[in-house]
Amino acid sequence: MSKAKSRSEIASVVILIVLAVILLPILAINLTLIIKGSIDPDTPPSVFGIAPLAVTSGSMEGDEEGSFPKGSLIFVRILDDDARASLEENDVITFRTADSFVTHRIVGVLRGDDGETLSYVTRGDANNVNDGAIPTDSVVGVCVAAIPGLGDFAMFLQTPAGILVFVGIPVLLFIAYDVTRIVLHNKRVRAENEAGTAEKDEEIRRLRAMLEEKERTAPTQSDAPSDDTDDNVTPSDK
């Protein structure tokens, strides 16, 4: 019983650790992104300088290096002022517009008379027209990686249904597993106790039968030989 209980407890701890390893970092990252996004809405919320962004249009679909389809999750490295002014053609950058962030490729660099970069001309790989001149102070970062399809999943996780599926269901499954484990353990303990009680009852019946058999076979007082002697003594002749 103790070994089975130990294995069950170890399994519960392992499952709890796995859930914690999977869920806690994601929850911590989401919380960090939400807080940063509310503090500075002009910059995509980032973790360790990398901002994950879901792609909601197909303007960057293509065969060029750095292209990505709609529904991708891209990772944008946030740039400081010096880095914003040192970008080159073919870099895929994210810049701020009036109501959103756009990620397109640089197709031209506009510089002043002193050689200082003033703005960038960008265009989506799937678009036929340029976006126009993007001032350097509107640039927020450069795209360093993209994972197709993961953006749709990330958007789904931000919905109530996504939170329920990704967080609620694993927690409910663990609770159901733990309740089932406890019920089965209690049943096993009860069965073992009942088996032990039955063995004790059987032993008591066996001992009682032995005592009864011994009492039946023991000699009674009337059957025992008499030790009494005759009180009438004949006097001897003198």
2-39 and 169-217 are packed helices; what angle lies between their axes, rounded to 10 degrees? Answer: 160
149-171: pLDDT as tens digits:
888 887 787 777 777 777 777 77
23-33: pLDDT as tens digits:
676 666 666 66
Distance between CA atoms of residues 154 and 185, nearest Å: 40
Distance between CA atoms of residues 120 and 136, nearest Å: 7
Enumerate the domain spans of the chain: 43-158
Q: How many H helices and E strands in the chain?
A: 5, 7
73, two tokens: 């999750």
Give 43-158's CATH code, choosing from 2.10.109.10, 2.60.40.2300, 1.10.645.10, 3.40.50.1370.
2.10.109.10
Distance between CA atoms of residues 175 and 187, nearest Å: 18
What sections of 40-130 are H helices per DSSP?
Answer: 81-84
In a structure prediction context, what are the per-residue pLDDT tens digits for the chain, which is 238 residues long? 455 556 666 766 777 777 677 667 666 666 666 666 666 667 777 778 898 898 999 999 988 999 999 999 999 999 998 999 999 999 999 999 887 899 999 999 999 888 889 999 999 999 999 998 999 999 999 999 999 988 888 778 777 777 777 777 777 877 887 788 788 778 877 887 777 777 777 778 777 777 777 777 766 555 555 555 555 545 555 4
47 secondary structure, DSSP code: B
